[in-house]
Amino acid sequence: MNKIAAVFSFLLCFSLALYAGDQINIIPYPQKMDIKPGHFKINSGTTVFADSGFEKLASGFQTRFKLVSGFQLSKNDEICTQQIRFEKANNLSEEGYSLSADSKNIVLKASTQAGMFYALQTLYQLMPVDIYGKELSERKKWTVPCVEIEDVPRFAYRGLHLDVSRHFFTVDEIKRYLDAMAIHKLNRFHWHLTDDQGWRIEIKKYPNLTKTGSHRIETLVGHYYENFPQRYDDDAYGGYYTQDEAREIVRYAAERNITVIPEIEMPGHASATIASYPFLSCTRQQINVAKKWGIFEDVYCTRDSVFNFLEDVLTEIMDIFPSEYIHIGGDECPKVRWHECPDCQKRIKLLGLKDEHELQSYFIQRIENFVNTKGRKIIGWDEILEGGLADNATVMSWRGVAGGIEAAKSSHNVIMTPGEFCYFDHYQDNPETEPTAIGGYTPLSKVYSFEPVPASFSAEEARYIIGAQANVWTEYLKQFSDVEYMVFPRIAALSEVLWTQSEYKNYDRFCQNMLTEFQRYKVLDINASKAFYGVSAQTVSVSADKVQFILRTDDSKAVIHYNLDDSQVSLKSSVYKSPVTIHKNTVIHARSFEGKKEVGKELIQKLAVSKISGKKPVSSVPIFKNDAVLQQLTDGIYGGTKSGNNWIQIGGNSDRELVYDLGSVMQVHVVSVSILNKPAICGIYPFGIIVLLSEDGVDFVETAREKSEKVYDSIIRIYRPEIFFPYKKARYVKIVFLNGGNVFDLNGNTRDSVLFLDEIEIN
């Protein structure tokens, strides 16, 4: 390269960097985007042009712009310069659009309302975040960077769900939810309207559904497995939507290109319905609207009168909701009542069915036939595959992706919503410092990594994966701000999974764009989780006397500072640059800083290092079929009280033992273990712990014994007994946990106690 070319290419790179510095932060990321130099400046002389059909979207833009800027942009029916145009372009596909901004004009093109709506969402994201405000902003300059965008979604079904049964949210809150969905270019709102804990939609023919079924007398306190015995809050709880309110939601959603898909659960999760009309169950006995979470045995009977009821309900539902799809649930339906019910057994015999699973299949197919006669289709959770799938049903795969794969292979449409990636009731940050969630761990990066189409699928099979959805179950989300906390920012990650072709996805770029997305959330007053700004620690190699870990944050602007001496972090603490190795038990404190400002929570994480770090026991009683889990006992990471992660559970009524091989004979003097006491899941402290040592792995000598003095303990806590003894030579260490005996479970039944074990250290 000659000198002039070198200078030129330097200038070119520099100017490209400058445009990139314009920070175009569109989420979900468009399929094709060319950033150009320069800006379009919106001023009082800017006019708005709209082709026929797009006037309403254009005037919505004018109204929003006036609100935040004070400028009333005038409408102009002639094409001219210094104009923002909403143009019809019939060559663009259903939800696709193009957006072209240069210094003279901004041109949005689409063939449909949906496409133009998305073009407008992109225009808003190209503008300063104040565009999302509720009032006049201080901003004087309104510019849009010059750019060429051509965009179209990858998936047709881009869903977000909300459970309004466990907790109820107002019409205004639902509208806020829909607003946020629209910004993320999501187009299906799955409204989970009925469940055991409350029926939430007015049905004119059956007034008891709301009179009785929309209220519960009280609600479980804390996590399901938190208190032993369980406790209740003594506060009546209820709420429902009138049909007029539901219609208003449908209308409001439609304006945002969102279809509302109502879910009426059947045949299980029906306690609230049966409480309203006991004739619906097999026993016909009065029950209460459920006041705790879970799965309940009283489900709809399969008598004709029950189908008549459900058809009446669905008729009113289909009258309110124009959606092509009606969700009929189908998940988690226990079969015990059907097994004992003469009417259900008669039905099984009459139809020549094999068992209650086929009866469930009959139930769903009968409902499907009815829904189909009204020109609609059903969606059901993946349990509807059991006992035979209804002909035209779409399957929502939630227990992993296996159900979705099976359904797609038999030519049924599938919506992927596997718990691991799509359940936004899971934790997104360290469970020990987060508000109580149901469990699991689904951080932002995990959501972003989701690929809805199984890798093994042919192009033909892939066509059946119509999209994916995040589910928001609200057992532990009382307030709408709690819902927002769980949904944002994870929904931004899912929106990119659903919209952007996988080859254009890039987590680092997404995180960079999220910095602006958080500013939008701030203007919109959305209570988003700030886990993004925090620090997480991950071990990358674990071996005897040596653990290496990395620290990371999603905030690309941040520098991580950390200490290894269990003290609070400050700007004076070490700057994290590369993996850190430790040789003894260490409490890491870490925090990210943007400049001098602390951002995110401080991470406090204890890591264990001992002579058996990274080792699996050489033998165990009982024998583990999947002994890979035993690795967790020496992975350096301590289990917490709130999530099941890290603990291994050992049941049965024998004593339990583990034998570790240190690799060679050496001096040892202490064994320590972590034991979870959590009575609601029958986890208690063992009767005692014995340590035995051996040089040859054959003859073991009892060396120390911890005789448990602990009386029965009903509180959740972690015990970390350290069993010391004088220095002894050993190569093999056997640890025996004396069985804790029988305990009561949450239902008052006697069970074997369970040993929940984690980090074992030998030194």
Helix (H, G, I), strand (E, B) or coil at 219: coil
Q: How far is the CB of 264 from Zn ion (least distance, A)?
A: 19
Residue 444 and residue 399: Cα distance in Å, rounded? 20
Q: How far is the CB of 454 from ligand ACM (least distance, A)?
A: 20
Q: Pick the closest to residue 312 from 180, 206, 439 (CA basis).
A: 206
Catalytic, out of 161, 192, 269, 412: 269
Nearer to Zn ion, 298 or 554 (CB): 298
Report, in this order, helix, strand and coil percent for the chain, each rounded to 5: 30, 30, 40
Q: Which does 398 bind (CB under 5 to 8 A by kind): ligand ACM, Zn ion, none?
A: ligand ACM
Give yes or no for residue 408 binding Zn ion (CB under 5 A). Answer: no
699 catalytic? Reply is no
Beginning with the edge strand found earlier in the chain, give each strand of the sheet holding 546-552 in spatial order.
536-543, 546-552, 580-582
Which residues, in sequence order, are CB contacts of 468 under 8 Å at separation 6+?
A: 155, 157, 158, 159, 415, 416, 417, 422, 450, 452, 494, 497, 498
Structure-block tokens of residue 164: 């309004």
Indicate the burial class of 173 (C-beta count within 10 angstroms; 0-12, 13-18, 19 or more).
Answer: middle
Q: Which does 332 bind (CB under 5 to 8 A by kind): ligand ACM, Zn ion, none?
A: ligand ACM
Residue 213 and residue 273: Cα distance in Å, rounded? 6
Q: Which does 655 bind (CB under 5 to 8 A by kind): ligand ACM, Zn ion, none?
A: none
Nearer to ligand ACM, 226 or 332 (CB): 332
Q: Which does 179 bind (CB under 5 to 8 A by kind): Zn ion, ligand ACM, none?
A: none
Q: Which does 255 bind (CB under 5 to 8 A by kind): Zn ion, ligand ACM, none?
A: none
Phi and psi angles of residue 346, each rounded to the nearest 5 degrees, phi first: -60, -40
Q: How far is the CB of 419 from ligand ACM (least distance, A)?
A: 7
Task: Using CB under 6 A, list all residues that contact ligand ACM.
Answer: 331-332, 381, 398
Nearer to ligand ACM, 124 or 398 (CB): 398
Residue 676 and residue 685: Cα distance in Å, rounded? 7
Catalytic, out of 151, 163, 195, 706: 195
- Torsion-angle region of 240 (φ positive above 0: left; ψ -120 to 50: alpha; else: beta): beta
Q: How far is the CB of 195 from Zn ion (least distance, A)?
A: 20
Please, which of residues 274-313 interact with Zn ion by CB under 5 A? Answer: 282, 301
Indicate the burial class of 44 (C-beta count within 10 angstroms; 0-12, 13-18, 19 or more).
Answer: exposed
Nearer to ligand ACM, 49 or 424 (CB): 424
Residue 85 and residue 106: Cα distance in Å, rounded? 6
Nearer to Zn ion, 304 or 745 (CB): 304
Residue from 344, 390, 477, 531 in contact with Zn ion (CB under 5 A): 344
Give yes or no for residue 359 binding Zn ion (CB under 5 A). Answer: no
Residue from 119, 289, 341, 405 in contact with Zn ion (CB under 5 A): 341
Catalytic, out of 150, 218, 312, 332: 332
Interface with Zn ion: number of residues (CB under 5 A): 5
Beginning with the edge strand found earlier in the chain, give each strand of the sheet holding 586-594 in spatial order.
574-575, 559-563, 586-594, 597-607
Nearer to ligand ACM, 407 or 569 (CB): 407
Q: Which does 51 bind (CB under 5 to 8 A by kind): Zn ion, ligand ACM, none?
A: none
**Closest CB to ligand ACM belongs to which residue?**
331
| Side chain identity, residue 671 | V
Q: Which does 343 bind (CB under 5 to 8 A by kind): ligand ACM, Zn ion, none?
A: Zn ion
Q: How far is the CB of 192 from ligand ACM (least distance, A)?
A: 9
669 catalytic? Reply is no
Structure-block tokens of residue 298: 């009283």
Q: How far is the CB of 486 from ligand ACM (least distance, A)?
A: 15
161 catalytic? Reply is no
Q: How far is the CB of 495 from ligand ACM (least distance, A)?
A: 21
Q: Which does 381 bind (CB under 5 to 8 A by kind): Zn ion, ligand ACM, none?
A: ligand ACM
Nearer to ligand ACM, 400 or 688 (CB): 400
Beginning with the edge strand found earlier in the chain, give each strand of the sheet holding 47-50 in spatial order.
32-42, 142-151, 97-101, 105-110, 83-88, 47-50, 74-75
Nearer to ligand ACM, 199 or 398 (CB): 398
Query: Are the CB atoms for 343 and 302 separated by under 8 Å?
Result: yes
Instruction: Tell me how crowded residue 373 is: count the other CB atoms within 10 A of its CB.
Output: 9
Give yes or no for residue 343 binding Zn ion (CB under 5 A). Answer: yes
Q: How far is the CB of 50 from Zn ion (least distance, A)?
A: 59
Taking each helix axis from N to C end, the angle separating 304-320 and 243-255, rounded to the nearest 10 degrees, works out to: 50
User: Which listed range, 96-104, 334-342, 387-395, 749-757, lies at the site for Zn ion (CB under 5 A)?
Assistant: 334-342
State the catalytic residues. 195, 269, 332
User: Which residues of this protein are in contact with Zn ion, per CB under 5 A?
Assistant: 282, 301, 341, 343-344
